[in-house]
Each structure stands twice: as structure tokens, then as C-alpha cells.
């Protein structure tokens, strides 16, 4: 990982501006409080702060390569204390050597220089601590962001696995019902049984082609529903009617594939299958505020005995919508004495 200060030019400029302000403050302090001449104070400040500015960039590497997770606080503190003493000692030695060469004849300043070494050492410790703390904060932030990215990626993988698991429940459930119907038709009506096998193969071909995708267009989903109802109409004939009202705009919207099939399975199982009357399934849709609204309703015989299902159908839809859009209010169910309605709200 590159030194964060050197990663972008504006970061480097900010770093240099901070040191420029420190340099100016240093000049004013030793000029006003220690009565050092302004030019000498400027050179003194420039030498010491320029050296530490360069050293500050180097301190990133021991921070970067230190293993915080495997070391306790005391070990880290001792390591940095030793490193700071060595670094600051080197800093003072080089700074003092350079200034003694520059002001070799100024006895008064050299006396000030020697007497100032203790407080310069303390200031050096402060500089070192602030720079290292800053680097640790950067390192912690980068590690935190990396963990968040890993968690998001893992959550996405888990979500995809759950969606595939939920979607995988649909086809076996439907195939089981269809094969039972075909089995019955082979005895009562072999021709219809053959037709149903052909329709079923077309339906399954669509499902297999969609296996790697989680989203499809509303238009494709409706075509799949037409295939499904074509299969069921072979069983129920004129008892089953389908009325759909939609628009071209709605047909182009996206939604989870195979999301409507459990609704129609529910209609067949609890509406058509349990009734001797004609059942009309109505599908209506509209788009508003970047949301696709879909309503599927059907009449039913209120006197018929409703069989309890195995929980795959409507619960499957609720779970898939919640996983796909992170909302738990995208499906509502309304039931009256003679009408059952499922409403979906699909964010775009």
C-alpha cells in the first residue's frame, strides 16, 4: 500500500501546508519568546521542520508492516517508543550539525541551540506520536473499508444462493403437479396427455434458459404464465379463463423471473381445482413513481373446502422480494367473500 499522503497530489499539498504552518509558528515562538533574530529563527525552523517533514513520510512503513492483531498494546508502545527515540535522536543530531555549520561563528545562537535540545526532543516526541496516530487511523479506516467490502460481497453471495434456492423450489413443485395430471390424462384422455407433455417441455425450456438470471422483463414473465396456463387449460378446459390488461411501458419493466408462477399455482390449486364453476383470473398492471404495480385476482367458490398448502407458493414470493429489494412490504393479499387478490410492488 502506497503512503496515503503520496497517494494523491492534493494530500501531499495538504501535508506540506500543515508543515508550512508549523514552520511559521516555530519561527514566531523562538523569535518572540527566545529573542532569536528573525532570519536565524527562520533558518532554524526551516531546517528542523523540513527534516521532520521528510521523516514523517518514512514513519508510514513501520506502521504499515507492524502486525497490530498479533501484538498487545505494551509491545506496540515499546516498539514505537524505541523507534521514536532513535528517529528523534537522529533528527536532532542532523539538525544540530547543519545549524552549527551554518552559524559556526554565532556563539549566542549556538548556546541557544544546545539549551533548546531538551524541549526540541519533547516536541519531536509529540510530532512522532501525532503522525503515527494519523497513520494508524488511516490503516484502521482502510482495513474497515476492506472488511465492509468483503462482508457486502459475502452477503451478496449468500443472497444469490438463497434466491436460487427459493427459485429452485418452484419447478419441482410444479412438475410434481403436472406429472400427476399427465398420469391421470393418460387414462382418460391420451391425446390431451400428449399435448400437455409438449406444453410442459416448452415451459421447462424457458425455466432452464432463465436459470442463471434473477431478473427478466414483465413481458417474458407473462409469456411464461401463458405457457403455464396453456398446460392447466388442458386439464380444466372452459372452467379456466385468463384476462390480462397491461401496457407496453409495463411490459418493459424488470422483475424477478418466475415470481408470478406461484400466484397462478395458488389460483389453480385453491380456486379452479376446488370449484365446479368458471374461474376467471385477472391480471392488471401499471407503472408509477418508478414502481411496477401488478394485481392478480380471481373469483372462487366460498363454500368449497380449501386445502392447506405446503407453504412454498406465496411465502416464496414474499421471501424472494425481500431478498431482492430489501423491503418486506412489496406483496399484499386481499380476500373478500368471493375474490382473492395478490398485489405486487416491484421497484425499478
Domains of the chain by range and CATH? 4-115 (no CATH), 158-347 (3.30.565.10)
Q: What is the mean pLDDT of residues 311-339?
A: 85
**297 DSSP β-pair partners:** 282, 341
Which pLDDT band holds residue 181 (cuts at 50, 70, 90)?
confident
CA distance 324 to 347: 10
Q: What is the mean pLDDT of residues 292-314?
A: 75
Indicate the range of 8-17, 132-141, 197-206 predicted with least confidence.
197-206
Helix axes 38-58, 107-115, angle to 10 degrees: 40
The pLDDT of residue 164: 62
Residue 168 has pLDDT above 80, yes or no: no
Residue length of the chain:
348
Q: Which of 148-152, 170-174, 233-237, 291-295 reaches the highest mean pLDDT?
A: 291-295
Residue 210 has pLDDT above 70, yes or no: no
pTM: 0.54
Return the SS3 of 288: strand
Q: Are 279 and 299 in contact (CB under 8 A)?
A: yes
Angle, CA of 147, 149 and 152, to the nearest 5°: 110
Residues 6+ apart with CB under 8 A from 167: 214, 257, 258, 320
What is the overall mean pLDDT for the chain? Answer: 86
Residues 6+ apart with CB under 8 A from 219: 251, 252
**129 DSSP β-pair partners:** none
The pLDDT of residue 169: 59
CA atoms within 13 A on the CB side of 341: 16
Indicate the range of 54-63, 158-167, 198-207, 255-264 predicted with least confidence.
158-167
Amino acid at each position: 500500500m502506497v503512503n496515503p499522503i503520496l497517494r494523491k497530489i492534493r494530500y501531499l499539498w495538504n501535508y506540506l501546508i500543515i508543515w508550512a504552518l508549523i514552520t511559521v509558528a516555530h519561527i514566531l515562538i523562538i523569535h518572540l519568546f527566545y529573542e532569536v533574530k528573525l532570519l536565524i529563527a527562520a533558518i532554524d525552523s526551516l531546517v528542523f521542520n523540513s527534516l521532520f517533514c521528510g521523516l514523517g513520510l518514512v514513519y508510514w512503513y513501520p506502521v504499515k508492516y507492524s502486525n497490530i492483531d498479533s501484538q498487545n498494546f505494551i509491545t506496540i508502545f515499546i516498539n514505537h517508543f524505541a523507534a521514536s527515540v532513535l528517529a528523534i535522536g537522529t533528527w536532532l543530531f542532523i539538525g544540530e550539525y547543519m545549524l552549527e555549520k551554518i552559524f559556526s561563528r554565532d556563539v549566542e545562537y549556538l548556546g541557544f541551540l544546545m539549551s533548546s535540545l531538551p524541549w526540541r526532543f519533547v516536541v519531536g516526541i509529540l510530532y512522532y506520536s501525532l503522525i503515527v496516530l494519523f497513520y494508524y487511523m488511516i490503516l484502521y479506516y482502510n482495513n474497515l473499508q476492506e472488511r465492509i467490502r468483503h462482508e457486502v460481497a459475502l452477503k451478496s453471495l449468500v443472497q444469490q444462493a438463497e434466491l436460487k434456492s427459493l427459485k429452485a423450489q418452484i419447478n419441482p413443485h410444479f412438475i410434481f403437479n403436472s406429472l400427476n395430471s399427465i398420469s391421470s390424462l393418460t387414462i382418460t384422455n391420451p391425446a390431451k396427455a400428449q399435448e400437455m407433455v409438449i406444453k410442459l417441455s416448452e415451459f421447462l425450456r424457458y425455466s432452464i434458459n432463465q436459470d442463471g438470471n434473477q431478473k427478466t422483463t414483465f413481458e417474458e414473465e407473462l409469456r411464461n404464465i401463458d405457457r403455464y396456463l396453456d398446460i392447466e387449460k388442458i386439464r380444466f378446459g372452459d372452467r379456466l379463463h385468463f384476462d390480462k390488461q397491461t401496457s407496453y411501458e409495463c411490459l418493459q419493466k424488470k422483475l424477478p423471473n418466475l415470481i408470478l408462477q406461484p400466484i397462478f399455482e395458488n389460483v389453480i390449486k385453491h380456486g379452479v381445482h376446488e370449484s365446479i364453476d368458471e374461474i376467471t383470473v385477472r391480471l392488471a398492471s401499471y407503472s408509477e413513481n418508478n414502481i411496477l404495480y401488478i394485481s392478480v385476482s380471481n373469483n372462487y367458490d366460498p363454500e368449497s373446502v380449501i386445502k392447506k398448502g405446503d407453504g412454498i407458493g406465496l411465502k416464496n414470493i414474499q421471501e424472494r422480494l425481500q431478498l431482492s429489494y430489501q423491503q418486506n412490504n412489496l406483496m399484499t393479499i386481499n380476500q373478500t367473500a368471493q375474490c382473492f387478490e395478490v398485489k405486487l410492488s416491484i421497484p425499478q
